[in-house]
Every structure is written in C-alpha cells, then in structure tokens.
Chains A and B, each alone.
Chain A
Amino acid sequence: MMLDLFIDLSLFTMLVATGIAIVKMRRLFGVTMMAGVFSLLSAMLLVTLDAVDVAFTEAAVGAGISTVLMLSTLTLTSRIEKKPVHTPWIPLLVVTVTGAAIIYGTLDMPHFGDANAPAQVGVAAQYMERGPEDMDIPNVVTYILASYRGYDTMGETAVVFTAGVGVLMLISGLRRRRRKHPKDEGEVG
C-alpha cells in the first residue's frame, strides 16, 4: 500500500538523519538525547511491523534505561567528545564491508509475510494448538516463553542478572574509592 510505504520511508529518513546527527555532534549530552530519539524511532518501526512486544522492549531499554545509564556515565567522564585523531576512512571501510556481508546474508531469508517461512511452518502451529491444554496459561506469549522456551528464558535472565551485578559492583567500587580520596572528585559539570 502507498501509505505504508510513505510511513516506512519517513521513519527511516528520520532514523538516518538522527544517526548522522549522533555522529556529527560533539556534546555528549545532546548525543544521549539523540540516542533516546533513535530508539523511539526504531520502536515505531517495530510497531509498524506488528512486533509491539519487541518495540516496547526497545523503547524501555533504549529510551529509558540506556539514557539513564549514559547520563550516569556522563557524571563520571567529560561532557565533550574529543576530536578523533585517526582518519575516518579505515572505520568506514570496515563498516561498509560488514554491512555488505549482512545484506548478502539477508538475500537467503524468506520474504516478509511469506507463508512458507520457517517461522510459519515450524513448531509454532503446534505450540498454538497444544499450549492451552499443556500449560493452562491463557496468554500465548507467556506460555511459550515460560515453558516451551523455559531454559532459553532462564539463560537470558541469568545473563541480565550477571550484567546488573557487574554494573552495581563497578559503580559501588568507584564510589568507595571516591569517598576514600575526596580530592579525586573533580568538577564534573
């Protein structure tokens, strides 16, 4: 449909513009705000693809928690990004090659909404059919995540928990060191 194309193109244009602005900008506070907007735009794109749960995760993590984490990082470091000392051509080459490889990888993927895609002909239909009897949980997403993919979910939770504990230990260690040497606490603002 024409309107869908228009919506997708507008969102992608704004996404690319935000990305370029993030690269251009040197004030890190503005970059943090831009990253939040970037995440909100990605969430909108995911909503247009009917993946509202992924979109919500993107918005909560990208626009919510990441912004807060970046801001708390800004309190510890400088607020202006230094000018890069190396030429941008080698990173550009690496990014171009990686991007080309990823695009080449998508050539094998099934088309959007393809009825013969593995996601459609796999075990999904059986999950939908047998789930309510097996698990007695009314919500489809909940019973697939918590039972059929229980080990997967447990692994993810362990990873997130480990990351959280690591960040907490880093932050608390830093704070203790600062309390011991109050002179280190320079002007951050």
Chain B
Amino acid sequence: MFVFAIFALFIAMVLVLVRLYAGPTLYDRVLAVNSFGTHTVLFIGVIGFLTGRPDFLDIALLYALINFVGTIAILKYFRYRAIGDVHQRPTDREIGH
C-alpha cells in the first residue's frame, strides 16, 4: 500500500513541477512551491513507513513548519515589496498590479 502511495506521490510531484514551470501567474508558482513542500512532508512520512522505521515522522512536522513560514515570507513580499521591517502601510499605487 505504501508502494502505491509513493507512486501516487511522485505523479503528484511531477504535476506540481509542471505547474511551477508553466504557471502563468506568480500565485500559481507560490501555490506550487507550497504544495511541493507538503509533498516533501508526505514523502518523509511514507518513506519512514516503507522502510519500517517511522521515527522520522516528527521531523516531517518540522518541514511543514518551514513550509508555512516560507509561504508567509513570500506572501509578505507580494504585499509590501519588502521582507524586513515595514514602516508604513503601502499606498494603492505601490501595490498596484
């Protein structure tokens, strides 16, 4: 069953990679990276059960955390066009798309 899971996981990864390369808008790419991080978490979990040593499951949780913080940082870049300390709220012209 875990073998099947890992096959499905690889197919999902390839689909996400295609979207990451082709994705027309930036938001497609952000979403693709985010879901690829989720696939990493799943992969670590599945490979633990596949080799009969599910000890690394808690490490997979840490990957989920990194993924979350990274996505927040990228979205903050979209919102403010800056990563560091933001002094004032941007005007509409600065956000403008």
Q: Which residues of A contact B (CB under 8 A)?
A: 3, 7, 10, 14, 17-18, 21, 25, 29-30, 33-34, 36-37, 40, 43-44, 47-48, 52, 56, 59-60, 63-64, 67-68, 71-72, 74-75, 171, 188-189
Contact = CB atoms under 8 A, between A and B. Distances in A.
B3 A3 contact: yes
Question: Interface SS of chain B: helix, strand, loop or mixed?
Answer: helix
Contacts, number: 88
Given A21-B21, A71-B74, A71-B83, A37 B33 contact: yes
A60 B66 contact: yes
Interface residues of B, number: 37
Question: Interface SS of chain A: helix, strand, loop or mixed?
Answer: helix
Interface of B: 3, 6, 10, 13-14, 17, 20-21, 23, 26, 29-30, 32-33, 36-37, 40, 43-44, 47, 50, 56, 59, 62-63, 66-67, 69-70, 73-74, 77, 81-84, 94
A48 B50 CA distance: 11
B70 A68 contact: yes
